[in-house]
Amino acid sequence: MRDARITPIYEGTNGIQAIDLVTRKLKLSDGAALRREIEDMRLILDQAQGLGDFSPASEAVQAFDAASRYLFDADTGTLLAGATPYLRLFALARGATLLIKGAAYGDPRRLAIARFFADNIAVAAPGLARVVTGGGRRCSTARQPLLLELYCAGPQFGELPGVILLQGRFEV
């Protein structure tokens, strides 16, 4: 079996980027940079209406916008609890719209990739938005000495968290 020492580094880096996104970049220029990003995503979707139904991508952008608005006024604990799923949500919304933008150039392969991403990957966005907007509340109900990594850090897609539960209960 191959030694995979890079996995903890990868996961830690994603966590650091997620924390930086919600604690610093989200409110950059009083949120103007983020609003421009969301407006650009919506513009791409509007311009791509002739390419077919990309409603999952539109739902991803709506979910990202709603989660962004929720986090903008959130306390630090809520920001940190939602950081990792928010980063993933951002990636799904932006990834879907950029693939759609690339498909607009007429290459049928790019269109197929954009459709696949929208229909099979971006559909996770509304669920991530629910985690972002409810995660802080759920983490605050955890009793000590539960390691909050169980829920707040969350597993990567398809992976199990390294620490499950030491003692105490986790109430949802």
> How is 22-87 classified by DSSP, letter by letter?
IIIITTGGGGHHHHHHHHHHHHHHHHTGGG---HHHHHHHHHHHHHHHHHHT--HHHHHHHHHHHH
Copy the structure tokens of residue 39.
């407006």
Residue with tokens 């790019």: 110
CA separation, residue 90 to residues 42, 129, 172 (Å): 14, 10, 25
Residues 6 or more apart whose Cβ sits within 8 Å of residue 17: 87
1: in domain: no
The pLDDT value given to residue 11: 64
157: in domain: no
CB contact at 8 A, 99 and 113: yes
Per-residue pLDDT of the chain (172 residues; tens, 9 = 90+): 455 666 666 567 888 899 999 999 999 899 999 999 999 999 999 999 999 999 999 999 999 999 999 999 998 888 888 999 999 999 999 999 999 999 999 899 999 999 999 999 999 999 999 999 987 666 665 544 444 444 454 544 444 344 333 344 444 3
The pLDDT value given to residue 12: 72
> Degrees (nearest 5) of the Cα angle 67, 37, 125?
40
117: in domain: yes
The pLDDT value given to residue 160: 39
Distance CA 31, CA 55 (A): 26
Q: Which domain holds residue 63?
A: 6-150
162: in domain: no
How would you class 169 by CB atoms within 10 Å of its CB: exposed for 0-12, middle for 13-18, buried for 19 or more? exposed
The pLDDT value given to residue 156: 45
Tally the domains of the chain: 1
Copy the structure tokens of residue 11.
């996961």
The pLDDT value given to residue 3: 59
In the chain the first and final C-alpha atoms are separated, in Å, by 37
Of 13, 5, 21, 12, the residue nearest 149 (C-alpha): 12
170: in domain: no
99: in domain: yes
The pLDDT value given to residue 33: 93
The pLDDT value given to residue 15: 85
The pLDDT value given to residue 97: 97
CB contact at 8 A, 171 and 148: no
172: in domain: no
64: in domain: yes
